[in-house]
């Protein structure tokens, strides 16, 4: 990774892209430190201390949510909008037609996603305003000043969410890597001081009469290193389907006859199923926080919304199922076995031992299903295992698996992006 970055820095165009990406990240971190007016963030300090969904959303926003900064919503509205539009693309023929129109169709879908993200950001801003109002974190709540402060707060949160979405799209166009993923990466890395706090807390518990934490601490460190290694290995792992092309004689020359392969990565969808599943699971808990329900007055709804707490077993099961579902969904979008089989037949290519046509597409579908299941279980285990360990040991490590997976996955994706760009710049021409 460091060698790739050092080689990329020597290329002027790529160096400008890296500096542009770093500048956008600096703007993002600056926006996470600029508070919205009329709010006292110190009142909310207790709401983000536990490992619940508010703490998770605060991690994705880089701490901006707990500070009531202009980037408090982060990229969550855009992620939710992406989920909605991609699901509707399968159900609505007009959106499916746009997805098949190439670059122009994708540009229109991106614009629709951005408009949807704006509506979701406005709804989340209004809900967050009522959370602040119920927690007495606002300076003005009644009269003309109250209406003006509400307008400013909602407008600032909505504008901040749309600005950070625009910044992510600028990284896609003029920077390096996936913009939204890099902003999430920057937010998570900026919050890793919580790792130090966790270690200090475990040592305090061990010295306070609980010696088992002297054993838990090195075990967790070894487990974290093993998870990182596990993520790197399975992210780079792939299944190669061999392909043999038939020989063809044209005049006095013979073409074809070479052997190749179809690479199918174990983790084709990257970290997006984790991000999408987390955003979807956060909706009930967020709504419950907006409503601020009381157990004595609304026992059913209080129990329902608290079922989706980040530490509950029900949440872990739903989280795992959503990760598996989104992984299959992404693979179904990226790979079409029938189209691959048709392309092989048109180019006189065959898979050894498999007849062309439908048998080839069926074989590719079976391989895809097996590989996708392995990749989905890999993502699910890495994301859910820290939740289960946290519930069993009482150690607050619920955010460890998801954050590690996102950080390592984004780092690997960014490294591959720079390598592909360098390969494109340094390939040999036909006359060399």
Is 66 within 8 Å of 44 (Cβ atoms)?
yes
Q: Any residues with CB less than 8 A from the CB of 139 and at least 6 apart, and which?
A: 38, 39, 40, 149
Query: CA-CA distance, 86 to 121, in Å (whole number)?
Result: 18
Q: What is the DSSP string of 74-115?
A: TTHHHHHHHHHHHHHHHH-HHHHHHHTSTHHHHHHHHHHHHH
Query: CA-CA distance, 139 to 39, in Å (whole number)?
Result: 6
| Residue 272, Cβ density class (10 Å: 0-12 exposed, 13-18 middle, ≥19 buried) | buried
Domains of the chain are 12-191 (1.10.3370.10)
Half-sphere exposure at residue 247, Cβ-oriented, CA atoms within 13 angstroms: 6
Within 10 Å of residue 135's Cβ, how many Cβ atoms?
Answer: 15
DSSP three-state, residue 262: strand
Which of 158, 147, 162 lies closest to 38, judged by CA? 147
Supply the pLDDT for residue 328.
Answer: 87
69-104 residue pLDDT tens: 888 888 888 888 887 887 788 778 888 788 777 778
This prediction's pTM: 0.74
Report residue 332 CA to chain centroid gap: 18
Query: CA-CA distance, 163 to 63, in Å (whole number)?
Result: 17
Which of 383, 397, 402 lies closest to 213, judged by CA? 397
DSSP three-state, residue 308: coil
Provide the phi-psi class of 265: left if phi over 0, else alpha when psi is between -120 and 50, else beta: beta
Per-residue pLDDT tens digits of the chain, which is 432 residues long:
667 777 777 778 888 888 999 999 999 988 888 888 888 777 665 555 444 556 666 666 667 777 788 888 888 888 888 878 877 887 788 887 887 777 788 888 888 998 999 999 998 888 888 877 777 667 666 666 778 888 889 999 999 999 998 998 899 888 888 888 888 888 888 777 666 677 777 777 777 777 777 777 787 778 778 878 887 887 788 888 888 887 766 666 665 567 788 888 888 777 778 777 877 777 777 676 666 667 677 777 777 777 777 677 788 888 888 888 888 888 887 778 888 888 888 877 888 888 888 888 889 888 888 888 888 888 888 878 777 777 766 665 555 666 777 788 788 888 878 877 777 765 444 344
Sign of CA dihedral 287, 288, 294, 300: positive
| Partners of residue 349 on adjacent β-strands | 245
Query: CA-CA distance, 28 to 178, in Å (whole number)?
Result: 15
């Amino acid at each position: 990774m460091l060698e790739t970055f050092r080689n990329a820095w020597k290329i002027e165009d790529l160096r400008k892209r890296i500096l542009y990406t770093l500048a956008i990240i600096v703007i993002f971190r600056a926006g996470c430190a600029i508070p919205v007016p009329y709010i006292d963030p110190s009142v909310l300090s207790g709401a983000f201390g536990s490992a619940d969904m508010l703490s998770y959303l605060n991690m994705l926003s880089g701490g901006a949510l707990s500070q009531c900064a202009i980037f408090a919503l982060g990229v969550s509205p855009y992620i939710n909008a992406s989920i909605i539009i991609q699901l509707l693309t399968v159900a609505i023929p007009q959106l499916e037609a746009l997805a098949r129109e190439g670059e122009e169709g994708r540009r229109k879908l991106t614009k629709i996603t951005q408009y949807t993200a704006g509506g979701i950001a406005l709804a989340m801003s209004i809900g967050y305003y009522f959370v602040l109002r119920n927690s007495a974190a606002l300076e003005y709540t009644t009269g003309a000043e109250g209406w003006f402060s509400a307008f400013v707060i909602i407008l600032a949160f909505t504008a901040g969410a749309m600005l950070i979405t625009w910044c992510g799209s600028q990284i896609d166009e003029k920077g390096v890597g996936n913009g939204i993923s890099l902003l999430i990466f920057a937010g998570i890395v900026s919050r890793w001081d919580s790792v130090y706090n966790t270690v200090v807390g475990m040592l305090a518990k061990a010295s306070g009469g609980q010696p088992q934490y002297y054993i838990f601490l090195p075990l967790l460190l070894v487990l974290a290193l093993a998870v990182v290694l596990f993520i790197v290995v399975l992210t780079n792992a792939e299944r190669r389907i061999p392909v043999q092309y038939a020989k063809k004689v044209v005049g006095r020359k013979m073409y074809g006859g070479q052997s190749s392969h179809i690479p199918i990565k174990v983790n084709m969808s990257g970290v997006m199923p984790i991000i999408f599943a987390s955003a979807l699971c956060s909706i009930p808990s967020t709504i419950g926080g907006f409503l601020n329900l009381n157990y004595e007055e609304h026992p059913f709804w209080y129990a329902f919304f608290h079922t989706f707490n980040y530490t509950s077993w029900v949440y872990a099961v739903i989280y795992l199922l959503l990760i598996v579902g989104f992984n299959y969904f992404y693979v179904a979008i990226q790979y079409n076995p029938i189209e691959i089989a048709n392309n092989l037949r048109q180019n006189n290519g065959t898979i050894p031992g498999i007849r062309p046509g439908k048998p080839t597409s069926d074989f590719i579908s079976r391989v895809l299903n097996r590989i996708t299941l392995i990749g989905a279980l890999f993502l699910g285990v890495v994301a859910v295992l820290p939740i289960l360990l946290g519930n069993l040991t009482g150690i607050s490590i619920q955010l460890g698996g998801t954050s590690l997976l996102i950080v390592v996955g984004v780092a690997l994706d960014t490294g591959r992006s720079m390598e592909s760009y360098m390969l494109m710049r340094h390939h040999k021409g036909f006359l060399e």
